[in-house]
Amino acid sequence: MMKKILAYNILGYEKEFVLEWAAEHPDVQVDFNDVELHDDTVDLAKGYDGIDYRQRSMLSETPDLYRKLRDFGITQLSLRSAGVDSCNLKWAKENGLTITNVPSYSPEAVAEMTLTHALNLVRHIPQFQSRMAKNDYIVEGLRSRELSEMTIGIIGVGRIGSTVAKIFKRFGARILGNDIHENAAFRDLVTYTSKEDIFKNADLITMHTYMSDENYHMIDKTQFAQMKPSAFFINCSRGPIVNTDALIDALQNHQIAGAGIDVIENETEIFNQSFDGDIPLKEYTKLKAMDNVFLTPHVAFYTDIAVKNMVKQSLDDTLKLITGQTTEHTIHV
């Protein structure tokens, strides 16, 4: 019997890769929609063998959704993302749902965006653009440093963090790294040290950690207070690992020199949406008004290669699990 897969919340830029995967698997029925998987849309999963989804908001605040999926005969959920914080892993396990993710869709994509943020900050591009918008072409006060004379601090030296390290290493920068697991293969690339040492000594600090309860607000007032006033801070990982209010205070009080932000707390209130007037996320409005802040709307991952890998790998994992196979991308609780 033909297996049936339903992909939730397929965005416009993902469709071509879903259709491409479906054409490569003519013995599998692949349907998709443009809605997120929540309590009011879970019934759409009835009659399918496998479910694929990607979203930044939680599936549900109660275990009922997971029970419904179990009752429908669903045994897995494949995420088209590295992060799995939209899913309650405890409830999933209790209801026999195997969860998979795409842990490495393109480390290069995020690393290149990190470099983009770094160069914009170090070369004072936001400030120059602000001045030029007012027909002010005076350059005094905005002289830059070169990456070769800087110390880069990387929090989270995994697939993405190590790729970031390789890029900055090519510029001749000194690299400090911190990770819960020190990888011997990266010892020629980074000097492992404590987070506190990185905050104290790095000229640019970039975050590349996953989201978990333990990592919530990993960067708060205490951490910003330890950074050099000349340091730049970049977050291209997960919004909630940084206390947004503490970040704003650090910028306003000149505890740091600037920030590059691709992700932010409560970003689902504004990202992938268009507004005629004011946006509902007031903290983001404050950041937009600062000329030492470089902002992008959670697009560090957004390249052709990354999107293709996210879609196809998650569908591959879905098919494997519903046909009795295993996948190395299973999340173990």
79 within 8 A of 327, measured Cβ to Cβ: no
207 within 8 A of 231, measured Cβ to Cβ: no
SS3 31: strand
Residue with tokens 């940084």: 242
Residue 267 falls in the annotated catalytic set: yes
Return the amino acid letter for 332: H
Q: Among 298, 328, 329, 332, which one carries the catalytic annotation?
A: 298
CA neighbor of 41 nearest in space, from 33, 31, 49: 33
Element (DSSP H or E) covering residue 309: helix 304-322
Q: Among 117, 238, 265, 329, which one carries the catalytic annotation?
A: 238
Q: Among 54, 159, 267, 329, which one carries the catalytic annotation?
A: 267
Query: With the C-alpha atoms ordered 133, 134, 135, 139, is the resulting torsion angle positive or negative?
Result: negative
Residue 298 falls in the annotated catalytic set: yes
SS3 82: coil
Q: What is the DSSP letter of 43?
A: G
Total residues found in the chain within this entry = 333
Report the catalytic residues: 238, 267, 298
